[in-house]
Structure 1
Amino acid sequence: MALLQTSLIWVTGLIALAIIIIVSITFVVIYSSPRDRSLFVSVVTVLSLTSLLATVCLLPLDIALVSSTTDNTTGDKKKWADPDTVNNILLSLKVVYYLLYSLDAILCILVIPFAYFWYEEWDIDSTAGSRIRGAFKYTTGFVCLLLVLFLVGFFVPVAAQRHGDEHYDLDFFKRLLLDNRGERALTFIVGVLLCLGTMIYVVYTGPGLALFPVSLIKSIPAISITSAEEARDALAINRERQRIIEAKNAGGSPLSPKDRKELESLQREERTLTRKQRLAEEGGNKWVLKVQAALRPFKLLLGLVLLAISTLLVASMLITGIDKIKYSECGAKCGYILTDVNILNPINWIFVKASKVFPIDYVIILLLVLFFFVSTVVGLAFIGIRFLWIVIFKIRSGHTKPQALLMGTTLLTLSVLAINYGLTMFVAPQYAHFGGQKYCTWPMNEPGVVRDCTTHPDYLFPCSASAKGPAASVCTPTVVSTFINRITLNYPFFGVFAFWSQFAFMGLFFITMLTALIRTPKMDFEEQLEDEDEEEEESLLGATGNRFRGAWDDVRGRTNGNNGGSYGSS
């Protein structure tokens, strides 16, 4: 029975991994620029996206496996869930977590920088050897950084060496203090990456969580063109409005700020309408526009639902933050670890109730994890890759450069650690620690009374870190919660930074949501048209280059076939 249940969960994880690989490949194909596509960069990006998505989706798998060991109707461990079996399950999860975290760190610190510099080293005179040597030269700094982090984590003092008067009364947390120096070093490296990822999480995931639903709500365009005739009519109205504004300011007088702003808006709209008319006449987007028009009500409904969910998520995070500040027994000394949920957390309550019906809670937590990840991608697409106010790269469908793909993947990889922290410690802390596990609090010392929580469910309570005695042996914490608690206990400064960053996350969410609701997020039509103009210009330049090379070969008396290369048709 044990083998059947756990194997079924692992098989589900493998199926999810196969889907993740397909999603990663599709993401790279859709977003990468066809003109600049590099096979090596694409392979590295797909591998990195697969690794980070697998890390994200391992949390629901973790919760499912530990929850499967407990019978929630009796509050006891299942017959097959003896200590050795449970330890084997936890060991297998721990190995997978360490492999994925290590792979994420290596990809983020070594492989992606190498691929970035390898692509940057290309020029017309470069060779494969020179590009590899140049990439290794620049990647050496990242190798040194990784070694420094490992050595610091290996030797830095941890909480286990604190003074005698600074101790914890809970056995659950005492077991998390590290003695193994190799594991301590890896924990320190992940803690550093967690802090870096938290900054990405605040800057991109917070606004993305608001922009994603609002963009769906306000994605209904002001101009809906389904035919060439409608496009021509709308274009005629647009040009007439422009003529009226220009006539009002005839005689050389300057335009008022209001008229100038309206005229610029009409001119942008004219360019868009011209493009839509051309596409409608060609018939290339006729069915696409009809499908989009049919799906608009569903997009609006989905946007409203997601906005309500995101608001509820942030409200739950705020409640947990207040709970931690007020009731954490050790405060900043342990990263504001909380033993019990003292204030009702709506999301946590929903998960505990959903755990009664298998597998609703696992499906919900998987969708929630993916919602946070997609929100990060949306925030990255809206904000772009920036240094302060300077936009370095933009993430756009079909126009993302290889360097932008690699940098964007690095940011997403770092944000995964922060997403795990936010879900485990803030969104649903009790459920993320113990899943749907429950323990029986039936009085053990009543003479003549048989302990039976099946007929008395009032004695069943969700597992928590404060469970003691027999309940402590029933409640098995998830591996990810143990790992995060270990980081915050041994290196409290990581926990304090991650804790207070959640409030910055919430603040940016509310500011972005209010701003987006008041000011409609518009698509940058000028940017799209510039991209099209650039493509047309490059295609013309390419055709001109082919004709020039063909003419030059004619002068030299050579043909394309004899030249050993193909220039294409002109």
Structure 2
Amino acid sequence: MALIQTSLIWVAYAVAIAILLIIASVFVYVYQTPRDRAASVTTVCIITMSALLATILLLPVDVALVSATTISKEGRKKDWATPEAVDSILYTLKIVYYTLFSLDAVLCLLVVPFTYFWHEETDDEARTMGTQSFGKQFWGAFKYTIAFIFLVVILFLVGFFVPVAKDSHDLDYFKKLLTENRGERALTFALGLLITIGTVIYVLYTAAGLALLPVALIKSAPAISAPNLAANTASQLEQNRERQRQLEGRNEGREGGLESRDRRELEGLVREERTLIRRERLAAETQGEGRSWIVRAWIKVEAVFRPFKLLFGFLLMLLALLIFVSMLITGIDKAKNSICKEKCGYILGHINIFQPINWVFVKAARVFPIDYILFLLLVLFFFAASVVGIASVGIRFLWIKLFSIRKGHTSPQALLMATVMLTLIVLAINYSIAMLVAPQYATYGPQTFCDRAAAQSPDSKSPADCTSHPASIKPCTELAANPAAKQTCTPTLISTFLNRITANFPFFGIVAFWAQFAFLAVYLVVFVTTLFRVPRLDTEQLDADLEEEEEEGLLSSTGRRFDATWQDITGRARVRQERWAAGYGGVGGGEGGDE
């Protein structure tokens, strides 16, 4: 029975990884520019994103495996859950965790930089010289990657020799967090540093995206379908050029050139023609012409779900506000009730204030895989918010914008840099979810223990039966000193690992904890701002062309949405003979029509 249960948990994890691989592939293909696509960049980005999402989605597997060793209703270990069996489960989890964390670090610090320089060498030399050997290209990329290799070596050497915090607590839980193995200490230090760097990016980008994503879904939707846009644009462009030919033919051979009235009209037609050409190109790109089948399929899926954007946006807004409230409650609880404060990174012994998201996850964890599905949706929401934040703000150095992340227009270099940023952000999301969003769930899940002292009646001499005293069954906590709790409660490996980082290196814990309040502040500022201001970037068209389209009035908050949706799904336009409806005629302000 135990083998079947653990096997089902790992099968669910494998299914989730397959879904993540599809999501990562779609993201890369949709955002990268088709004119400059490189197989090496595409492969590395997909593998890296899949690995980092697989790392964070190991948390509910961790919770399910340790929770499977107990009977929550009775507050005791299952008969098969001997110390040896539990240690075997934890050892397997530790191998998977360390493998994924090490893979994330190697991909982020070595593989992605090498791929970046590999592509740079191809751009700079292969295009100018026309040919280049594999050896020269490899050495050209490797010589720049040497600096990152030295960085990794220095990082692990510092972690190997840096002293850890001294034990200042009597509780066994805190004593177990202090690392003795120097190799494990080096990995702990390296990941702690990466989480700290990722937390800074997480505060700036994910917080903004968490506020922008729901509001953008609510406030923007295309008012005309891409096929209809293309058909009407082609018709109007033909009329425009015909009118230009009429004006030029009528004034051919006339001394002094065009009359002033005709010259003004022709100038207006030329401006209108430029706008129509840009609109025609935008419509072609929106339909996915010349793009891969994945991009075209994604466009169809977007069109199918477009009518639900308003409802979906409201639901995401409520979820974001719930996350905000839950994080704020846990943050206040940690700041006020942590028994070690900054000395151990504000580890919270047990939850003192009701926290909604944590409560939902603890209840859902009793029936696997309900909590896994909810956790997958939560992680995807954070990931999508991070993408929207990076796309909205752009990749910057201080105030200088280096790259833009735009659908169908993202260069390989920008995609690789965004992948590194997302890797660091996901490490920070891992800390945020485990330590603030759902701390009890991420630490012990639904595990409970039997407090026999509370169940024992004063007059009874026989052992207490917790099943007949529900009040004696208590949730597991870090501060539980009861011998039964020590025997029954098994903390998850991810909570132990994150708490080990903050306990051994308190500086990382202090930065990560107080950065959560900065995250909430950035979210609140951006959310309030977007309520009174239309987002500059729509979530469907995260590119500069959409800004031009918005300025020309091609988007509207209401009207013709369902008709446009159906035309986008079928790919057929209903060509109108009359001029476009209000807001679509007279693009360039030309005076004349057909005479």
Check whether the contact 1:314–1:506 (CA below 8 A) recurs between aligned residues.
yes
Cα distance, 1:23 vs structure 2? 2.5
Q: Paired residue for 2:207?
A: 206
Aligned residue among 409, 421, 427 for 1:399: 409
Check whether the contact 2:451–2:484 (CA below 8 A) recurs between aligned residues.
no
Cα distance, 1:267 vs structure 2? 12
Q: Paired residue for 1:489?
A: 503
> Partner amino acid for 1:186?
L
CA distance in 1, matches of 2:177, 2:413: 40
Check whether the contact 1:226–1:289 (CA below 8 A) recurs between aligned residues.
no
Check whether the contact 1:231–1:277 (CA below 8 A) recurs between aligned residues.
no
Cα distance, 1:373 vs structure 2? 1.7
Check whether the contact 2:44–2:112 (CA below 8 A) recurs between aligned residues.
yes
Q: Paired residue for 2:515?
A: 501
TM-score, normalised with respect to structure 1 = 0.80
Instruction: Pick closer, same or farther for the CA change 1:305–1:470 going to 2, 3 Å.
Output: same
Q: Paired residue for 1:26?
A: 26
Instruction: Pick closer, same or farther for the CA change 1:182–1:280 going to 2, 3 Å.
Output: closer
Cα distance, 1:490 vs structure 2? 0.4
Pairing 1:1-40 to 2, within 5 Å after superposition: 1-40=1-40
Aligned residues: 500
Aligned residue among 139, 146, 158 for 1:133: 139
Q: Secondary structure at the match of 1:343?
A: coil
Deviations 1:421-452 (A, max 9, x none): 00111111111101111122233654255533
Q: Secondary structure at the match of 1:144?
A: helix
> Partner amino acid for 1:26?
V
Aligned residue among 434, 456, 471 for 1:424: 434
Check whether the contact 1:231–1:276 (CA below 8 A) recurs between aligned residues.
no
Deviations 1:205-264 (A, max 9, x none): 1111111111111122466788479968xx99xx9xxxxxxxxxxxxxxxxxxxxxxxxx
Check whether the contact 2:346–2:509 (CA below 8 A) recurs between aligned residues.
yes
Unmatched runs of 5 consecutive residues or more in structure 2: 241-271, 291-296, 550-595
Aligned residue among 500, 504, 510 for 2:524: 510
Asked if 1:78 is matched to 2:84, the reply is no
Check whether the contact 1:226–1:290 (CA below 8 A) recurs between aligned residues.
no
CA distance in 2, matches of 1:67, 1:531: 53
Aligned residue among 468, 472, 492 for 1:478: 492
Cα distance, 1:522 vs structure 2? 3.5
TM-score, normalised with respect to structure 2 = 0.77
Check whether the contact 2:456–2:464 (CA below 8 A) recurs between aligned residues.
no
Instruction: Pick closer, same or farther for the CA change 1:289–1:42 going to 2, 3 Å.
Output: closer
Deviations 1:70-107 (A, max 9, x none): 11111101111111111111111111110011011111
CA distance in 1, matches of 2:284, 2:117: 41
Pairing 1:249-264 to 2, within 5 Å after superposition: none
Deviations 1:44-69 (A, max 9, x none): 11221121111121111111111111
Q: Paired residue for 1:118?
A: 118
Q: Secondary structure at the match of 1:454?
A: helix
Aligned residue among 339, 345, 357 for 2:355: 345
Aligned residue among 137, 148, 157 for 2:154: 148
Check whether the contact 1:60–1:366 (CA below 8 A) recurs between aligned residues.
no
CA distance in 2, matches of 1:69, 1:30: 43
Higher relative contact order (CA 8 A, sep 6+): 2
CA distance in 2, matches of 1:137, 1:389: 30
CA distance in 1, matches of 2:184, 2:298: 53
Asked if 1:322 is matched to 2:321, the reply is no
Aligned residue among 434, 447, 467 for 1:454: 467
Cα distance, 1:483 vs structure 2? 0.3
Check whether the contact 2:45–2:415 (CA below 8 A) recurs between aligned residues.
yes
Q: Paired residue for 2:64?
A: 64
Deviations 1:162-185 (A, max 9, x none): 6xxxx1122111111011111101
Instruction: Pick closer, same or farther for the CA change 1:192–1:275 going to 2, 3 Å.
Output: closer
Cα distance, 1:459 vs structure 2? 2.3
Deviations 1:22-50 (A, max 9, x none): 32222222222121111122221122112
Check whether the contact 2:450–2:484 (CA below 8 A) recurs between aligned residues.
no
Q: Paired residue for 1:189?
A: 190
Check whether the contact 1:228–1:280 (CA below 8 A) recurs between aligned residues.
no
Deviations 1:139-176 (A, max 9, x none): 1111111111111111111014x6xxxx1122111111
CA distance in 2, matches of 1:84, 1:117: 48
Check whether the contact 2:160–2:185 (CA below 8 A) recurs between aligned residues.
yes
Deviations 1:478-512 (A, max 9, x none): 11100000000000000001011111111111111
Unmatched runs of 5 consecutive residues or more in structure 1: 240-265, 533-570
Q: Paired residue for 2:420?
A: 410
Check whether the contact 2:226–2:287 (CA below 8 A) recurs between aligned residues.
no
Q: Secondary structure at the match of 1:175?
A: helix
Q: Paired residue for 1:172?
A: 173
CA distance in 1, matches of 2:24, 2:512: 28
CA distance in 1, matches of 2:120, 2:179: 42
Asked if 1:158 is matched to 2:164, the reply is yes
Q: Secondary structure at the match of 1:96?
A: helix
Q: Secondary structure at the match of 2:466?
A: coil
Deviates most, 315-324 or 490-499: 315-324
CA distance in 2, matches of 1:116, 1:391: 18
Instruction: Pick closer, same or farther for the CA change 1:106–1:455 going to 2, 3 Å.
Output: same
Check whether the contact 2:537–2:546 (CA below 8 A) recurs between aligned residues.
no
Check whether the contact 2:197–2:424 (CA below 8 A) recurs between aligned residues.
yes
CA distance in 2, matches of 1:278, 1:433: 50
